[in-house]
Amino acid sequence: MLITQLKSKETIEALAKGKTVIINCHGCKEVYFPEQEAAELQKELSVGGNVTEIITRDYICNPDNLRFQLKKFEDKIKDADTVLVFSCGVGVQTVAAFLEDKKVFACCDTCPLPGFQGVTPLEFDCGQCGECYLNSTGGICPITACSKSLVNGQCGGAKNGRCEVNKDMECGWERIYRKLEKLGRLDTLKYEAKVRDYAKPFKESKDEG
Ligand code: SF4
Ligand code: SF4
């Protein structure tokens, strides 16, 4: 189980550009999720007519389940400019990998919950850092896909695309670069990564980014 909280309204509004499909996950995160606030915000986003579909499913972190659940929305998703995901970081990464040619954005931050984390075999991992970076990294988590959890780019040690710390894995930052290049979003890398606030998950205020 994970705890998620909404990013700020201004952040989410700025992400909803062009035709937008929203995907909500009603898996484990709903326990601590402000459902009503999210529903009201999505209603507001829909007013202009840009939101073409709101999909609510459970356990989108399971790639097979996700593929099956999104099948009937294929046309709407194909036609969309943006996909907004209201789920934990694992769910967003799963959607971003499945819809690899789409701009997929996280609308929530995922915070730590001490204790048992469940048994679902997941392809992706979330370090529950409380300030989700996926919107700047093409949906690939810099905390878990980089051995050093770097949030401001590559360390420079990769060789032939492999991580210098763990040669069994691809360099996360090379993956991030390739993904952003494919999406035509390399300019995103010009963001200034703020010093990471390790206390953020334990604060009440919402993320501004
Ligand atoms: S950046 Fe990574 S660790 Fe942090 S909330 Fe997002 S998916 Fe989880
Ligand atoms: S080689 Fe890549 S994945 Fe490995 S620590 Fe450096 S930046 Fe991170």
The answer to whether the CB of 143 is under 6 A from ligand 1 is yes
Amino acid at 89: G
Give per-residue pLDDT as tens, 166-179: 999 999 999 999 99
DSSP characters over 107-135: -EEEE---S-------SS-----SS--GG
Instruction: Judge if the beta carbon of residue 138 lies within 6 A of ligand 1.
Output: no
Q: Judge if pTM exceeds 0.85.
A: yes
pLDDT in tens, 31-58: 677 888 999 999 999 998 899 999 999 8
Bridge partner list, 67: none
What pLDDT score does 174 carry?
A: 97
Residue with the two structure tokens 């840009």: 50
Q: Across all residues in the chain, what is the average pLDDT? A: 89
Question: Cα of 53 to ligand 1 centre, how many Å?
Answer: 25
Ligand 2 atom nearest 165 alpha carbon: 4
User: Any idea which residue has 């909280």 for tokens?
Assistant: 5
Pairwise CA distance, residues 64 & 192, whole Å: 36
Please state the domain extents for the chain: 3-202
The tokens for 157 are 């040690």
**pLDDT single digits (tens) 102-148:** 999 999 999 877 655 555 667 788 888 889 999 999 999 999 999 99
Are 105 and 15 spatial neighbours (Cβ–Cβ below 8 Å)?
yes
Q: Positive or negative, the Cα torsion across 144, 146, 149, 153? A: negative
Determine the angle formed by the axes of helices 89-98 and 63-70, rounding to 10 degrees.
60
Any ligand 2 atom below 6 A from CB of 172: yes
Residue ID of nearest Cα to ligand 1 atom 8: 126
Bridge partners of 21, per DSSP, are 53, 83
- Element at 51 (helix H, strand E): strand 51-57
Apex 204 CA angle, 199 and 209, nearest 5: 75
Round to whole Å and give the CA distance between 147 and 83.
Answer: 28
pLDDT band at 204 (very low <50, low <70, confident <90, very high): low
- Averaged pLDDT, 10-20: 95
- Tokens found for residue 18: 């062009």
Query: Is the per-residue pLDDT at 209 higher than 50?
Result: no
Task: Give dist(CA 2, CA 79) in Å, integer.
Answer: 31
Beta bridge partners of 111: 3
**DSSP classification of residue 8:** P
